[in-house]
A and B are shown apart, each in its own frame.
Chain A
C-alpha cells in the first residue's frame, strides 16, 4: 500500500508541480495516474521512489516513511519502467535484465538464470539474450525494460509512460501483454500516462490529475466514465465517454433474435413470412454450419422469383460480428453501426451465429445500463 499524505513538490523558482496530494494506492492491481502535461502525474510517481523529493508531506510504502530509507536501497525494491526503456546500450539483453539482482549482490550465474526466466515471461526469444539493445525493435526494448524492472521480484512496479514511444499497434500488444502479466503476478502497479484510453484499458483505479498538480478524481474506470466530478474531468475523458463506458457491460445480457436468421438452402418464400416491409427489413443468411454469409433485404425478397434458395441471392456483407460470450456492449454497438443492415451479428466462440440484435434493441439495453 502506498500512501501520499499531503505530499507536495514546489521547485525553487516557485513552480508547483504537485500541490498537495492525498491518495492511497491499494496493494495489488493497477492504479493509473492520468492527466495532461504539467498536471504532476510523473512527479507524483517519482516521489514514490525518491527520484523527486517532496517539499512537504509524507509518503509511506506499507506504512514506512520512505525518507527513512536509503534512496538507492529503496529503488532496488521498487521496479521502474521508463519511457524509451532506458536500457544500458553497453550491456546485452540478459545483463540488462540481471542488473538489479546483481546490484542486490546475487551471484552472476543465479542472476543470469533469473534473467532468462524473465525473458520467457515477457515473451522474448532466448536467442535475443546475447543481443545489444540497439539491435532490438522499440517494442522488444520495452519488453526488456519490463523484464528488468521485474527481475528482483519487487512488490511494486512504477511505470512512467512506458508505451508512449512505440507505434499504436505495438502499444496495443504491449498493453495486452501487461494485462496478462498482471493477471499472473498481481503486482502493485502505478502507471503514468496522458492517454485516457490507455488508462481505462489498464487501470483498476484511475487518478485524474489537473494542471497545477491537483488530484481531480480517483475512481474505478467505470465510475469515472459514468460520473466525472467536474467539467475538467469530463472534457479530459472526451466526448465519447458514454460509448467508451459501454465496454464495462457485457453483451451477454442482450436478447438476440433468431427468427430472422435463415439457412442458405431455405426458399425465398420462407423468409418472406417473417421479413417484409419496413417493420422487418432484413434477413441474415447462414450456411449449413451456421456461419454468417450475408444480409438480404425485404425488397430483394419481393423481387426474387419463388422457389429460389436464399443463398443464390446477391447478399450484402455482414461486416464484423461480436462474440456474445466475451464482448462488451460497446463491441455490439460498433458491429451494429458498421453493418449495412444496422443490425449486429452475435456469434459464439467458434464464429457460429447465435442471433442478431437491432439498433433499437441495443438502444434499450444501453438505456437500461445508463439508469
Chain B
C-alpha cells in the first residue's frame, strides 16, 4: 500500500538522518586531542578559504587599479589569469608540494590565484562604471590622481567589487575541499578520507552540509557588509525603500547613480582631454 510504502521510506530517511547526526555529534571534537574531530576541520576550512579570499582581494585591488589606469595592461593580465584558471586545481596543489610541503600555503596560493579570475574583472568593471562626469568633476575639483582613485572611484566601485567577492567566496569555500588530496582541505578530509575511503556516508553528508552552511553564512556576512558600507545605494532611509530606490535609479541612470549589479555594462570612460 502506498501509505505504508511512504511510511517505510520516511522512517528509513529519518533513521538515516539520526545516524548521520549522531556520528556528527560523537565526532565533533575530542578533549585533549585538538587536531581530531569535525570542529578542527571546520576551523581549518575557514582558515584556508578566508585567507585565500583575502589574499586574492589584496592582489586584485591594486592590480585592478593598475588595469583601470593603464588600459593596455588589462587584456594580457586578464588572459593570464584566465589561463591560470584553466589549470586543474589538483595539478596546481601537487605542483606546489615540492616548494611549500604540507603547509597551508600549498592550498592558499593556488586558491588565491583562482579568486583573481572573478575578482579582477569585477574590480576593473567597478572602477570603469564610475560615471565619466563624476570622474571629471573629481579632477576639476582638485583631487590628485591617487586620492581620486582611493576616495572617489574605489568607494563608488564597492558594490560591484562585493558582488564579485560573493561569487569568489562561494567558489573558494567549495574548492578548499579538493586540497584534501594533498592532506589539507578542512572539511574535504571528512569527505575524502573518512567517507570515500571507508565507504561510510555519514562523514560525506556532514562535510557537505557544513561546507554549504559555511558558504551560506559567508555570503550573508558579505551582504550585510555591503549594506553597511554603501548606505548611498539605499533608498530614502525608509525600511523597504531599497528595492524601489534601485528601480528608480535604473530609471534615472543618466544622472549618474551607479548600478549595483556585477553584470552592469561599464560606462565607457573617455579620456578627460576629449574636448567637446
A52: nearest chain-B partner, CB-CB: B273
Secondary structure of the B side of the interface? helix
Q: How far is the CA of A82 from the CA of B276 in the complex (A)?
A: 13
A residues 49-92 near B (Cβ < 8 Å) are 49, 51-52, 72-76, 80, 82-92
Does the CB pair A82–B133 fall under 8 Å?
yes
Q: Which of A115-123, A128-136, A197-205, A286-294 contacts B (4 or more CB under 8 A)?
A: A128-136
Residue of A11, A37, A75, A84 touching B276 (CB-CB under 8 A): A37
Q: How far is the CB of B229 from chain A (nearest CB, A)?
A: 9
A174 interface residue (CB < 8 Å to B): no
User: Which residues 76-112 in A have Cβ within 8 Å of B in the complex?
Assistant: 76, 80, 82-92, 99-100, 103
Q: A90-B230, A165-B254 are in contact. Are A51 and B139 (CB under 8 A)?
A: yes
In the complex, whether B270 has a CB less than 8 A from a CB of chain A is: no
Q: Say yes or no: A75 contacts B141, CB within 8 Å.
A: yes
A52 to B273, CA, bound (A): 6
Nearest Cβ distance between residue A282 and chain B, in whole angstroms?
A: 51
Q: B136 — which chain A residues lie within 8 A by C-beta?
A: 51, 82, 86
Given the interface pairs A43-B276, A134-B249, the reply to whether A76 lies near B141 with Cβ below 8 Å is yes
Question: Which residues of chain A (14-46) have a CB below 8 Å from chain B?
Answer: 17, 37-43, 46
B152 CB within 8 Å of chain A: yes
CB distance from B129 to the nearest CB of A (A): 11
In the complex with contacts A72-B143, A82-B140, A91-B255 CB distance below 8 A:
no
Total contacting residues, chain A, CB less than 8 A: 45
Chain A residues, Cβ within 8 Å of B137: 80, 82, 85-88, 145
Select the residue from B140, B144, B272 with max chain A CB neighbours within 10 A. B140
Is B202 engaged at the interface, CB distance under 8 Å to the other chain? Answer: no
Contact of A88 among B134, B255, B272 (CB under 8 A): B134
- Report the nearest A residue to B135, measured CB to CB: A86
Q: A89, B142: Cβ atoms under 8 Å?
A: no
User: Do A89 and B141 have beta carbons less than 8 Å apart?
Assistant: no
Chain B residues in 8 Å Cβ range of A133: 255-257
Are B156's CB and A38's CB within 8 A?
A: no
Scan A299-340; emit 1 where CB is below 8 A from any B CB, else 0: 000000000000000000000000000000000000000000
Q: How far apart sit A88 and B255, CA to CA, in the bound complex (Å)?
A: 11
A138 adjacent to chain B (CB < 8 Å): yes
Q: Is the CB of A89 within 8 A of B140?
A: no
Q: Does A9 contact B (CB under 8 A)?
A: yes
B258 in the interface (beta carbon within 8 A): yes
Binding site for B on A (CB under 8 A): 9, 11, 17, 37-43, 46, 49, 51-52, 72-76, 80, 82-92, 99-100, 103, 131-135, 138, 141, 145, 148, 158, 165
Report 20 cross-chain contacts, Cβ distance below 8 Å, ordered by A residue. A17-B276, A37-B276, A38-B276, A41-B276, A51-B139, A51-B140, A51-B273, A76-B142, A80-B137, A82-B136, A82-B137, A85-B255, A86-B140, A87-B137, A89-B156, A90-B158, A91-B232, A134-B245, A135-B236, A165-B254
4 closest A-B pairs by beta carbon, nearest first, are A86-B137, A76-B142, A75-B142, A80-B140
